[in-house]
Amino acid sequence: MNSIVATAAMARPAADPPASSLGLRLTSALILLPVGLLVVYAGGLSFAALVGLAGMLMVMEWDRLSGGTGAGPLGLGGMATLLAMAAAGHFLGPSWGFVAILIGAAALWPLARAEGRSAGWALLGLIWLGLPCLVLLWLRSGENGLIVVLWLLATVFMCDTGAYFAGRAIGGPKLAPRFSPKKTWAGLIGGMVSAALVGVAVAVGVGDGSIVPPMLIGAALAVISQIGDLAESAVKRRFGAKDSGDLIPGHGGVMDRFDAVLFAVPAVGLLMILNDGGAMSWL
């Protein structure tokens, strides 16, 4: 839900954007933030519908990014797969949502042949975008699902915010100049510290255990989320694109705002599985 919770404070230590661009970013955030939080709080079918819609839009952007039109056989097939995944995941359970992704992946091969394109990028897109969406549905429907999802989103948001301010204030060596020339190591450390503080706050607010595990988990999740950001930057650089789309004024595409969350969600899902499918120890 980075597209919902992220504001103008992103993890890019660049010069201040023009006032008009900053105004668009703030306006978009002020509109999307309350709507997104309301749907996350409501859960259920409304949350599944939002996740499914976001997944479909991201698949469309992925198809355009990788050489399609977004409305060709591969794009429409991918969008149908994400819609089926969300419906199956909500009504039948995560296992059936995964089956929907597998069926969609199998269908991409003839669709790719019909469009004269390689199915490789489309298959990667289903994995990159579909699995996190499915895991997010599972997390929200599970034990303490609301707290888990809100903690995850707050961690990613605070990582972005901490990285932005630390990067601007400290500067220094670049983190990955080949893929994202404006990110710095100082920004990464600032993001880790900010995300760790979110874990501490959750542990103090709703738990009764040690603050060390959630602090370490928050810091690790910050690293993973930044890897997601860099990974999308690498894909965009591969295809010579600045943004994945232009659907959100001042922000770019939906995938641009989900990039960090797309990597953070599976990591949290793995933690839940290692904890026997239940909430993490401090929740």
User: Domain boundaries in the chain?
Assistant: 43-141, 144-283
- Band of pLDDT at residue 2, cut at 50, 70 and 90: very low
pLDDT tops 80 at residue 116: yes
Q: Per the structure block, which two tokens stand in for 258?
A: 């989900």
Alpha-carbon gap, residue 35 to 37, rounded angstroms: 6
Q: What integer pLDDT is reported at residue 202 of this predicted model?
A: 85
Query: What percentage of residues in the chain have a pLDDT greater than 90?
Result: 54
In sequence order, the β-bridge partners of residue 115 are none
Provide the residue type at 103 as one letter.
Answer: I
Residue that wins the pLDDT comparison between 146 and 26: 146
pLDDT range class, residue 126, cuts 50, 70, 90: very high
Which of the residue ranges 110-119, 132-141, 142-151 would you say has the lowest mean pLDDT?
Answer: 110-119
More confident residue, 257 or 133: 133
Q: At what angle do helices 19-42 and 44-65 cross, to 10 degrees?
A: 140
Mean pLDDT of the chain: 85
- For 197-234, write each residue's pLDDT tens digit: 998 898 888 766 678 888 999 999 999 999 999 999 99
pLDDT value at residue 215: 92
What pLDDT does residue 131 have? Answer: 97
Across residues 155-168, what is the average pLDDT?
88
Count other C-beta atoms under 10 Å from residue 43's C-beta: 15
Q: Length of the chain in residues, anyone?
A: 283
137: nearest Cα among 281, 270, 265, 277: 265
The per-residue pLDDT for 242 is 87
Structure-block tokens of residue 229: 């950001």
The pLDDT score that the predictor gives to residue 79 is: 96
- pLDDT of 280 reads 65
Task: Note the pLDDT of residue 211.
Answer: 86
pLDDT at position 66 over 60: yes
Q: What is the pLDDT of residue 282?
A: 60
pLDDT-based confidence at residue 6 (cuts at 50, 70, 90)? very low
The pLDDT of residue 114 is above 70:
yes
CA distances from 247 to 82, 136, 252 (A): 18, 22, 6
The pLDDT of residue 3 is 38
Question: Among 162-166, 168-172, 206-210, which is the least confidently predicted range?
Answer: 206-210
Sorting pLDDT into bands at 50, 70 and 90, what band is 4?
very low
Q: Choose between 248 and 93: higher pLDDT.
A: 93
Q: Are 232 and 256 in contact (CB under 8 A)?
A: yes
Q: Which residue has the higher pLDDT, 276 or 79?
A: 79
pLDDT at 46: 97
Token digits for 108?
């991409």
